[in-house]
Amino acid sequence: MNGYYPIVLQLRGKRCVIIGGGGIAQRKLLGLLEAGADDVLLVSPSVTAQIERLAAEGKFRLERREYKEEDAKEAWLIFAATNDKRVNAAVAADGERFGVLVNAADEPDNSTFISPSVVRRGDLLLAVTVSGASPALSQQIKQELEAQYGPRYEEIAARLRRLRDRTLDMILDEQERRAVLKLAAEDAVQFNRNNFDTDEWLQSLYHRIDRRHS
């Protein structure tokens, strides 16, 4: 069994490099752009039509050439996703040497991180991995989660963020705030879209907490 520690990375301002321009490189690229990465370089002599289109829209920098060592040296995080095992292994070894986070798409043993399957609903991020045992199972579980946690969860998360921000200056007692926020998370899933007001909601949560305590 492989042990992996999950983290969620903030990529703003971090140089993310993808070596390769096929279907796998494209999937890693879309994942980075969805995550808000704003300093992405993709290096490959040939690329898919979609990679080409996104490059033309200025979403990231494309260099049509083969990999060179400086690509790894200047990276914060790097994906080795070519169809040449030796190139992928060189990217991984260079990345390791320069202390860069490395994902080798063809060889988990050369990687410092692996990519999970991801469902995004606004601020809600669900990530699934089977630690390399079965990417197909990760994908299947992702589809189940997509059905279970539909698009309305984007609004639920946004609503809870607004409420939580409001409580930070309204409820100074930490215990009380915790009780309100836990009840709010239970409550949020039941709400329908209409007649929503953060302050009214907060008041009703307060009443219910009071009642529980008395």
Ligand X SMILES: C[C@@]1(CC(=O)O)c2cc3[nH]c(cc4nc(cc5[nH]c(cc(n2)[C@H]1CCC(=O)O)[C@@](C)(CC(=O)O)[C@@H]5CCC(=O)O)C(CC(=O)O)=C4CCC(=O)O)c(CCC(=O)O)c3CC(=O)O
Residues contributing to the site for ligand X (CB under 6 A): 27, 31, 103, 105-108, 114-115, 117, 129-136, 138-139, 142
CB of 192 to ligand X, least distance (A): 30
Query: Rounded distance, CA 30 to CA 28, Å?
Result: 6
CB of 51 to ligand NAI, least distance (A): 8
Strand order in the sheet with 61-63: 61-63, 40-43, 16-19, 77-80, 101-104
Residue 108 is given by DSSP the state G
Query: Rounded distance, CA 185 to CA 160, Å?
Result: 7
Residue with Cβ nearer ligand X (58 or 150): 150
**Alpha helices, DSSP H only, in 35-132?**
49-56, 69-73, 85-97
A 10 A CB-CB count for 126 gives: 17
- Residue 62 as a binder of ligand NAI (CB under 6 A): the answer is no
Applying CB under 6 A, the span of 55-63, 77-85, 136-144, 164-172 interacting with ligand NAI comes to 77-85
96 binds, among ligand NAI, ligand X, none (CB under 5 to 8 A by kind): none
Contact 95/116 with Cβ under 8 angstroms?
no
Residues with Cβ within 8 Å of residue 3, at least 6 apart in sequence: 131
- Residue 78 as a binder of ligand NAI (CB under 6 A): the answer is no
148 binds, among ligand NAI, ligand X, none (CB under 5 to 8 A by kind): none
Residue with Cβ nearer ligand NAI (98 or 206): 98
Applying CB under 6 A, the span of 15-23, 34-42, 54-62, 162-170 interacting with ligand NAI comes to 15-23
Binding residues for ligand NAI, per CB under 6 A? 19-25, 43-47, 66-67, 81-84, 87, 105-106, 135
